Each structure stands twice: as structure tokens, then as C-alpha cells.
Structure 1
């Protein structure tokens, strides 16, 4: 038996349901296929649940340090992990239910629960049923990368998904990977009350950031008692009477870190290995990401790829923008392309890092004449008033064109403040526009014109 649709969307992450909504509004019939939960990584195992837990960790930290503000709690601050998990689950389930209700009431859209696999360029199999379509859209997302490291098969380990299912507090959490996901969980569980050690192969944390940003983040985490083992070139694992032994070959310190739990936070890999893409003729790169053009079309003209699986971004906002690009090109006669998108993301430790555009190192390597302005958060009135003065602000600009090239805002509300710079970059306005802006006092954003005014050649 075969059923034909105008479009098949494989995957119910950020781009899939939204595209289904636009296509059905245009009178098309859509088959939306999801093998687990609608909402993808963000709703189920990413943004929503992690930021909910980050909020719980922040509350514990604020209560624990309340005497700084003249607030006495009385007695030690403890964390009920069962309650933390229950709160996280509630937020996730409510978001998922909203999506389920929306898609369930979408006229022209049929939701199929199961795993899709190509059996021809226009056909997929879902649980023994054959579905065909004129156009097919991939929105299959990604999962935690599990490298074949020595001893990994001999131990029990956590990923970002299973870590959020814990309802007991790890005695000692060893986080393998010193990048965005790993750091977020490291600080979170340290604030919950665990001993935490980060093991990182590279010489510094979040290696894609400027060295000054990495150093500041390191200081923030060390100030909270998080142990760091950098330059861990030879990482291996073994069972231990006290949990798991993580063997490291570092420049200094013990050669072994023993933890009760180990979290692997070593990047992500796309969910493209079990779709039968070779049957459809869809090309992938050496890492498994679907190769797409500037309008997200794959090597097969009637197949598109959106979200994490296309290697063009690993964020909820880039996945949603993928949907916008596809919908604009197909339905609105409004040409849009991925290369128009500026890099923007955040690291949700506390204080957060908001990033947009080029880093200073990237700007230097571009061969441009650049200007750089910085200001420590200790000289930002709003940060001082809140007692949150860690971090700094940095803006990078082209000295000749006056174009803002990028920014890093590591500090309280940095993930929000950075958007003022990002919007100006999209408007292609010179930095003088921001320099002459009058912002509200007291805010963090009010110091952006000052940072611009203090920019100097480097």
C-alpha cells in the first residue's frame, strides 16, 4: 500500500512542524514523520530542559551566596534533585503537548510515528507503509557524539540526555569535553552540590573563542570550585571501586580522575546514518552532514535538509531560520539564502556569553585593519548593582569601513545585550550609529556606545 502527499517532512524538530504549517496553509498535503517526540532536541533534550535546570542551579547559587546581599537564609542550602527533575519534566511536557496539539489540529497534515527510511528518491518506508511525495524535507537533527575512546565500552557513562534524567546528585561528576554543553552541565551540577571536574583535550576551554574569553570563563568556573584538567591528550576509561576512572595525560596533576559519574560532552553527530540516503542519492560529507546549497537544497533537486543535519548551524534559531529560508523560496517568491545569516549564539553558563559575528582572532586573520573596544563588567554600573561583575564586553570593527565585525558579551544578561549589536550588523549600519545612540540607564546595554567610543587599533 502506498500513500502520496505533496510533501514529506522527516523529523519534527524546530523546522519541520513550522514548514508543515506553511505548506498546509498553501493547500498542500503533508506527511510529517517523527520517530519519537515532536519538538526535536530543543524541546525534549536541549534548550527547554537544560535552561530550566540552569534556572534551578542559579536559584541554589543565589540562595547560597545571599549573604552578599544582606540576605540570611538560615542553615545550609540543599537541592532536591527529584524536584528539580520534576520541574524540568513539567516544562518539557507542556511544550511538547503544545506542539502535539498544534500538529494534531493542522488540516492537511498527517503525523506518522515511526522511523523513516528511503526506498527510492521519492518514497520512504515508515513501519511497513510506503509514503511518496513530490518534495521531501529532512529535519532529522543530531545526537551526542560517542567517540571510540579506550575503555568506553567497559563503563557506564552519561550524555546530555541521560544526565537530565538523574534524580540523585552525583558525588563527583567528571565532564569529558570543555566546550559549550560540557561547561553548562559542569556549572549546573556544581551549583547543585556535586564535586565537578572538567577534562578537556585542548589547551583551553571553548577553543573556538578568543583566548581572553576562554581565560575569563576558566576563572568563572574555577571560582566556583570546578576542577580543570586541560591538555588531556590521552583520555581513557576504566571501572573503579569508587565509580569510573578517567585516565588523562596532562602536563601536571594526577594521571587519573575518579568520578562517581562521567558525562561525555564531545560534540554532536547528525542523525543521517540510518535514513537510506544513499538509496535516494543524497550526498553527505565525511562527518555525515547532508550537503546543501545556499537555499538548503541537497544533491537531489526535490529534497531539502534543514536543521542540525545539514551542518549549517547547530542551534534552534538556525534550524528555525532554515525553515524560513525554505518557505520564503518555495512559497513567497522571496529569495533567501543561508549565506546571509550571521553567526550568533550563546554559552549559558552564569554569567552567560553572547556572541555574534567574528571573534577578534577571526577578524585579525581576515587581513582587515581592525578596531577593538573592551570594558570589564566591573565598570558596568548595572553589573555592580547586581553584584555580578565577572566577565567583559568586547566589540570588533573594521577600521576602514566602520562595519561592526563581531562582539563577545561575557557578563550578566550578555545573551540579551548582544542582540543590539547583531541587529546593527544585519542593518549594515556603521558603528557610529551605535556610538551616538542614547540607551536607558541603568542597563548593561548603555555601555555599548562607550565601548565603541573606546575602540583602538590592534
Structure 2
């Protein structure tokens, strides 16, 4: 049996970054990855990078087939770079195969040829990410027209008619993206509330803009079944008590993702999981087994690649620091939804502040008032910033506007640094930029 100081199961963001650091310190590292198309992890191969490439090129009115070629070239380059980032190190090794625990620190790896190799690690880091959830709708899982968030980006041909099940953030990104290439997109969702986490005025703006762009929504519906025909799928749903049918070339299930643990053999270990299959960790990402950690989506919680990267920092502070970083310190976490224009948030929304009876002052500016938005020829959207009237510190911000994903990081930094909102208001920004909107919105 081969023994290693460190074994990392899965090639995700946090794990690969940790592997690079450990090999740089001369420690032996084995990274096990079951798919050659996943070197580098979810973000590079099936997540943020390919989806944002397709979204951007859709906005540029590039043809779908050309955009797919661009996407494949991009992720192919990144995948190769990530593989060699580990394999080229003197103490690094990448093993293709499917790993299964047989004990807390021993794994059996089924290789591509069917043979089995057993390996042992002094430390083990589980970094297997998450997998799409397919809802239990009659005929959906069996449908030859079914797509998930991964296969949706591997289509060689643009679907003329696309039905998306789920009006959450993932569903909206795909709806916006496929619509930009010319697909007729219909979104079905069981909830009557549209992106209910957001403030009602923001949700209404986004809904109206997406409808204006040509996307059709049916909210508060129950999806009864999916039936395949020779050239299309028939999706039957009930809306206001009435049975309705929509035909589609593809049906995309965008109903969330769950931790990828079902085939890890964790029942053979002392590693505990939740009812949803998430690995239980403490404030330092340690599992219930000694010297075994979980990184990224596999432990549940926020599914962002930058969370996985911060997981790496937390583990690094234990191995080589003074355990100065921990999960509970992670309170200022921005996010972006890459519809067109993008939606970004950090901290409290107005809805959350009201629910928690937190006193606030609100600053609001429509994106049409920002010169750069006019230059970009998309003046849709709004800026909303909540401020504590006593301390003048920023409580939260929601930006639905072009380049919001850049501006939100500036606001997140101000919150993290406990800066008064006047610091952002009075800063001199370059022109024309979306960040200079902070001069106006915070007046």
C-alpha cells in the first residue's frame, strides 16, 4: 500500500491550492480525481468560468456554436494548467480514479481499467464538491432531453425551446444566458415568490427586465410529468388549477446542488454527515475523524469557489500558522448572480433589516443615473445601500446593474474594515466607472 503525508480527494479550488502549498513545502501529496474533465474543480470546468464565458459571449451576440468552442478552449487550457500545477511537482501526484474510504485514513481507488489501488494518508482532505439535484418529477430523470447545470454547458446545438425547472439563481443565470443566444426560454417554479431573498423592489425590477427580454415565467405551479416524444419533451404542469403543457427541445433541472458524498464510503469511517449528506465539520473544518478535513461544497453551506479558497486559508492556518482563521469569522461574504445586468449583494438587505428590527438609513439610486451605465448601453437596475444611522457604517448593499460584481467587492471591503459610508462617498474615483456611482448614491 502506498502511503502519503497528504491525500486530497477531489481537485477543487481549496484542495488544489492546498496541494500546491504542501508540495512547495516538500510534503508528499496525492490528489485523486475520478474525471479527467474535472482537473481544477467545479469552477473551472463546469461552474463559474464556463458559464460566465457563455454569458459574456451571449451578450456579445456571438453564435452559440462559436461560444461553445471558445468555452472549451478556455477550460481546456485551465484544466491542463491545473493538472501540471500538481503533477509536475517533485512530491505531487495526480491519480485518476474513484476513491472510496475503507477506514478513516485508507482509501480504495478504482482506476479507469477497473483495477483497485489502496492508499493511506496521514492527513486526508475531502474536496469532492456537489452534484445537481434532480427533483422527483414523473419521467424527468428518465427523459433523454434532461439537462443539469453541467450538461447544459456541453450542448453543441442551441435548443430552440428550453424549459427550466427552478427560478432560483442558477435557473435565472441559465435563462438569461440561453435567451441571449436566441432560445425560447420558459421557467417553471413551485414558489409564487420570485427570488424572495431579495428586496421586493429589486425582485420586481429583475422580473420585469427578464420578461421584457423574452423569458416566460410560470410561478406557483406544480410540475406533474415529463413525457418524451421523437423530437421533443412534453412538460405537463398545473397552474391555478388548470393543466397546461409546454413543449421543449431540452428540459433543464436547475433545482440546486447537494454535497457529493454518496459514493465515498463514509459509512466505513467515523466521519459524520448530515441528513442531506453534507460532511459535519467544526469551526476549523475538521471532521469527526482525526486529521480528516472537508473543503468546499462537500461540507454544505455557501457553494462559492471563493469559500473553498477561504477554507484553504483556514486549514493552512492550522497546519502552519496559529489557527488564527476559522469559519465563524466569515461574516462578510458577497455574492453575484450573472444575469444581464448582474445582481450582487453583501450584508443585509432592506427586507432582512426590517425582519430583524435593525434601524437603518437607505440610499438608493437608479442605474440610469450612472454615466458608465449609459456608456455600456444598459442603464437598467438600481443601487441600494443600507447604513447604520448612528455609527455611519454600512450594513449591506444590493446592486442590480452593469459591473455590480466589481463594485460589490469595494463595499464588502468597507464593511470588513468598519469604514463609515462617507469614506466611499467622498473617495475620488476614475471616470467613467460604475464605482464612481458611490459618490452619488451615498449623498
* Matched ranges for 1:148-187 at <5 A: 148-156=136-144, 157-187=146-176
Q: Report the TM-score when normalising by structure 1.
A: 0.91
Please state whether the residue corresponding to 1:164 is helix, strand or coil.
helix
2:12 alignment counterpart:
13
Given that residues 81 and 166 in structure 1 are in contact (C-alpha distance below 8 angstroms), is that contact kept between their aligned partners in structure 2? no
CA distance, structure 2, for counterparts of residue 234 and residue 438 of structure 1: 52
2:383 alignment counterpart:
393
Given that residues 53 and 188 in structure 1 are in contact (C-alpha distance below 8 angstroms), is that contact kept between their aligned partners in structure 2? yes
Question: 1:172-216: per-residue Cα shift (whole Å, max 9, x none)?
Answer: 111111112211111211121111111111113323222222211
Rate the CA distance shift 1:154–1:35 in 2: closer, same or farther, 3 A.
closer
* Matched ranges for 1:116-135 at <5 A: 116-127=99-110, 128-135=116-123
1:137 alignment counterpart:
125
Rate the CA distance shift 1:431–1:81 in 2: closer, same or farther, 3 A.
closer
Q: Report the TM-score when normalising by structure 2.
A: 0.94
2:55 alignment counterpart:
54
Q: Which moved more, 1:25-34 or 1:345-354?
A: 25-34
2:71 alignment counterpart:
88
Answer yes or no: is 1:339 the counterpart of 2:328.
yes
Rate the CA distance shift 1:251–1:381 in 2: closer, same or farther, 3 A.
farther
CA distance, structure 2, for counterparts of residue 49 and residue 213 of structure 1: 27
2:198 alignment counterpart:
209
CA distance, structure 2, for counterparts of residue 276 and residue 148 of structure 1: 25
Q: Which moved more, 1:88-97 or 1:245-254?
A: 245-254
Answer yes or no: is 1:360 the counterpart of 2:359.
no
Given that residues 258 and 300 in structure 2 are in contact (C-alpha distance below 8 angstroms), is that contact kept between their aligned partners in structure 1? no
CA distance, structure 1, for counterparts of residue 403 and residue 353 of structure 2: 25
CA positional deviation for 1:239: 2.7
1:223 alignment counterpart:
212
CA distance, structure 2, for counterparts of residue 107 and residue 51 of structure 1: 34
* Matched ranges for 1:91-102 at <5 A: 91-102=74-85
Question: 1:342-386: per-residue Cα shift (whole Å, max 9, x none)?
Answer: 221111111111211222222222222112211111111221233
CA positional deviation for 1:423: 0.6
Given that residues 223 and 235 in structure 2 are in contact (C-alpha distance below 8 angstroms), is that contact kept between their aligned partners in structure 1? no
CA distance, structure 1, for counterparts of residue 224 and residue 48 of structure 2: 29
CA distance, structure 1, for counterparts of residue 242 and residue 366 of structure 2: 32
State which of 290, 294, 299 in structure 1 corresponds to 2:288: 299
Given that residues 135 and 253 in structure 2 are in contact (C-alpha distance below 8 angstroms), is that contact kept between their aligned partners in structure 1? no
RMSD of aligned residue pairs (Cα, Å): 1.8
Answer yes or no: is 1:415 the counterpart of 2:405.
yes
CA distance, structure 1, for counterparts of residue 436 and residue 84 of structure 2: 42
Rate the CA distance shift 1:252–1:398 in 2: closer, same or farther, 3 A.
farther
State which of 245, 251, 275 in structure 2 corresponds to 1:286: 275
2:113 alignment counterpart:
none
Given that residues 58 and 64 in structure 2 are in contact (C-alpha distance below 8 angstroms), is that contact kept between their aligned partners in structure 1? no
Given that residues 132 and 148 in structure 2 are in contact (C-alpha distance below 8 angstroms), is that contact kept between their aligned partners in structure 1? yes
CA distance, structure 1, for counterparts of residue 359 and residue 351 of structure 2: 12
1:111 alignment counterpart:
94
CA positional deviation for 1:145: 0.8
Aligned length: 434
Answer yes or no: is 1:449 the counterpart of 2:436.
no
CA distance, structure 1, for counterparts of residue 194 and residue 241 of structure 2: 17
CA distance, structure 1, for counterparts of residue 139 and residue 3 of structure 2: 48
CA positional deviation for 1:425: 1.0
1:262 alignment counterpart:
251
2:228 alignment counterpart:
239
CA positional deviation for 1:439: 2.1
CA positional deviation for 1:430: 2.3
Please state whether the residue corresponding to 2:281 is helix, strand or coil.
coil
